[in-house]
Amino acid sequence: MAEEVKSLNFIEHIIEEDLRNGFDQNSLRFRFPPEPNGYLHIGHASSICLNFGLGLEYNAPVNLRFDDTNPAKEEQEFVDAIKKDVSWLGFEWDKECYASDYFQQLYDWAVYLIQSGKAYVDSQTSEEMAAQKGTPTRPGTDSPYRNRSVEENLDLFERMKKGEFESGSHVLRAKIDMNSSNMLMRDPVMYRILHKSHHRTGDTWCIYPMYDWTHGESDYIEQISHSLCTLEFAMHRELYEWFLEQVYDTSQVKPKQREFARRNLSHTVVSKRKLLRLVQEKVVTGWDDPRMPTISGLRRRGYTPESIRKFADTIGIAKRENLIDVSLLEFCAREDLNKTAPRVMAVLDPLKIVITNYPEGKTEYVTAENNPEEENVTYRELPFSKELYIEREDFKEEANRKFFRLKLGGEVRLKNAYIIKAENVIKDADGTILEVHCTYDELSKSGSGTPESMRKVKGTLHWVSIPHAKKAEIRVYDRLFTEAEPDGHEDKDFLEFINPDSLSIVEGYIEPGLVEAAAGERFQFQRIGYFCVDPDSSKENPVFNKTVGLRDSWAKIAEK
């Protein structure tokens, strides 16, 4: 039983009730059933966390099932990416399953349905069939082929399988009820002819089972107890149960489909079909572009698996669809990275500082804390010299008392180093500041124990030493869409809302040790935000992605 202390979601309530009614806890089994026609996105993460979370909670196995019934859209590349993403999120599946492994069993059951008079081959065009479907308020019309003999159906279905017919010339339909108030029950298609190679079964099959016929039977084959899917399948439940009823053996577990609300994230789209368009139309560089809401994009951006799981946990599951603000996801990332990311110094918009009273050519080392959140704090040494970069916005010639950064005649502490005072500026002909000349207080070095080292000044700035710092490409991201719900407009394509400034590339300077960081390593650039080493990065050309800022800058704008 789930712990009583935590409040249960409605799916857990359903499971608890089944257990109370005598369902054996050892028979609980779940699955996550992606179609390998694209990369997983943040919406899928909710479903993954739900299913695998239930597995952990009830100590029940969870299968990873590829719902691979449409060879026109599915590829091995997607299978591999999906496995990588689920593992990276921190979950272990029990069995790796493929609907395509059940093609023979599904075929045999389909033959059985034909023999029982519950399925028939329809030889009309899809337009003719659509015209007979009726409407929710008007019953459908029987197909002229509905009463074909069992023998004829068996013969045609076998010849469909053998490849004797062209794509689209025949389908196999379940014979249910053309008058049903549920349109999906009006003799749904079970098989179509498709002369296409499948990424796993090759050319063995040229008839492929439809989703509804495949999904429930696959759940049954795997003995899934609770088959959880999103709300758009609610109307399919009746058909799911009808199909199961045809083959169900009462000694076995009969899977139960239950539906929860799809998770939508603001300022992006969570639909593989739409994400594919972003890739194909080269709006982004690929499925793992750090602006993408895909798991692989979030990973490349610097999100941790913990932060994505925390996000899924925080929003929980719901019965009704709603839009989750992306700032909640960013908040989860910030919280987690704050605990784990080493603090380093990098300057993204450099302004040169010259310390006029510091010896020419001298390098000394100052000690910097790696992460104050660590249990046992560790340190590193940073080079300091006469010429430094600070952030351009950290200096003003003149400013009011609330500006706690550097201004002419004012003092600040350089983090882990000395107190400096700005004396004068050097400008070019246009008035742009080229250098700020400062003096330093030689006795004020951090950690040196002198009274001057304890002296309090209002501001502390990050910096890098010019002769030692390394150049780095810093990729700074903004939201991919300007609208909270880019696909929420009936009259406009979501691509009309692409933010043209979603990526800006900055040439920054990083402390020298950072060139050693490996792809995927995450850091806090002090006073700026969280950054992650991109796979494109090399020692010679370091590349960092900005994950999130230190604070929610959007909230700040809203306040103003």
Catalytic residue ranges: 35, 262, 272
* # residues near ligand ATP by CB under 6 A: 16
**Cβ 173 to Mg ion, closest distance in Å?**
21
Q: Which does 46 bind (CB under 5 to 8 A by kind): Mg ion, ligand ATP, none?
A: ligand ATP
With residue 369 as reference, give the H or E element that holds it: strand 364-369
Question: Which residue, 39 or 525, has its beta carbon nearer to ligand ATP?
Answer: 39
Q: Which does 33 bind (CB under 5 to 8 A by kind): Mg ion, ligand ATP, none?
A: ligand ATP
Beta bridge partners of 368: 380
Instruction: Supply angle C-alpha 346, 477, 263, rounded to 5.
Output: 130
Contact call for residue 229 and ligand ATP (CB under 6 A) = yes
Using the contact rule CB under 5 A, the part of the chain among 33-41, 185-193, 318-326, 340-348 near Mg ion is: 33-41
**Cβ 225 to ligand ATP, closest distance in Å?**
15
Q: Round to whole Å and give the CA distance between 465 and 133.
A: 74
Among 271, 327, 338, 453, binds ligand ATP (CB under 6 A): 271
Question: Which residue, 66 or 531, has its beta carbon nearer to ligand ATP?
Answer: 66
Q: Which does 526 bind (CB under 5 to 8 A by kind): ligand ATP, Mg ion, none?
A: none
**Cβ 35 to Mg ion, closest distance in Å?**
5
Q: Report residue 45 as tokens.
A: 């993460």
Taking residue 535's Cβ as centre, other Cβ atoms within 10 Å add up to: 12
Instruction: Supply angle C-alpha 64, 93, 279, rounded to 5.
Output: 50
Using the contact rule CB under 5 A, the part of the chain among 30-38, 76-84, 308-316, 411-419 near Mg ion is: 30-38
Instruction: Supply angle C-alpha 382, 386, 388, rounded to 5.
Output: 65
Contact call for residue 270 and ligand ATP (CB under 6 A) = yes
* Rounded (10°) CA dihedral 296, 297, 303, 305: -20
Distances (CA, A) of 528 to 339, 341, 382: 16, 13, 19
Q: Report residue 429 as tokens.
A: 């002909």
Place of tokens 């239930």: 54
Q: Which does 246 bind (CB under 5 to 8 A by kind): ligand ATP, Mg ion, none?
A: none
Question: Which residue, 47 or 465, has its beta carbon nearer to ligand ATP?
Answer: 47
Which residue of the chain is nearest ligand ATP when measured via CB?
43
Using the contact rule CB under 6 A, the part of the chain among 12-20, 27-35, 372-380, 491-499 near ligand ATP is: 27-35
Instruction: Supply angle C-alpha 102, 75, 201, rounded to 5.
Output: 35
Using the contact rule CB under 5 A, the part of the chain among 34-42, 247-255, 302-310, 445-453 near Mg ion is: 34-42
DSSP annotation of 498 reads B
**Cβ 495 to Mg ion, closest distance in Å?**
22
Question: Which residue, 155 or 232, has its beta carbon nearer to Mg ion?
Answer: 232
Q: Round to whole Å and give the CA distance between 560 and 557.
A: 5
DSSP annotation of 522 reads E
With residue 553 as reference, give the H or E element that holds it: helix 553-559
**Cβ 38 to ligand ATP, closest distance in Å?**
6
**Cβ 33 to ligand ATP, closest distance in Å?**
5
In degrees and rounded to multiples of 5, residue 253 shows phi and psi of: -75, 135
Specify the length of the chain in residues.
Answer: 560
In degrees and rounded to multiples of 5, residue 264 shows phi and psi of: -115, 145
Q: Which does 453 bind (CB under 5 to 8 A by kind): Mg ion, ligand ATP, none?
A: none
**DSSP states of 44-72:** HHHHHHHHHHHHHHTT--EEEEE----TT
Q: Report residue 122 as tokens.
A: 């329809």
Using the contact rule CB under 6 A, the part of the chain among 266-274, 344-352, 424-432, 525-533 near ligand ATP is: 266-274
Q: Which does 272 bind (CB under 5 to 8 A by kind): Mg ion, ligand ATP, none?
A: ligand ATP
3-state secondary structure of 400: coil
Taking residue 448's Cβ as centre, other Cβ atoms within 10 Å add up to: 13
Contact call for residue 263 and ligand ATP (CB under 6 A) = yes
**Cβ 127 to Mg ion, closest distance in Å?**
25
**Cβ 214 to ligand ATP, closest distance in Å?**
12
Q: Which does 263 bind (CB under 5 to 8 A by kind): ligand ATP, Mg ion, none?
A: ligand ATP
Asked if residue 62 lies in contact with residue 55, where contact means CB atoms within 8 angstroms, the answer is yes
Interacting positions 32-91 with ligand ATP (CB under 6 A):
33-35, 43-44, 46-47, 67
Q: Round to whole Å and give the CA distance between 134 and 141.
A: 7
Interface ranges with ligand ATP (CB under 6 A): 33-35, 43-44, 46-47, 67, 229-230, 262-263, 270-273
Interface ranges with Mg ion (CB under 5 A): 35
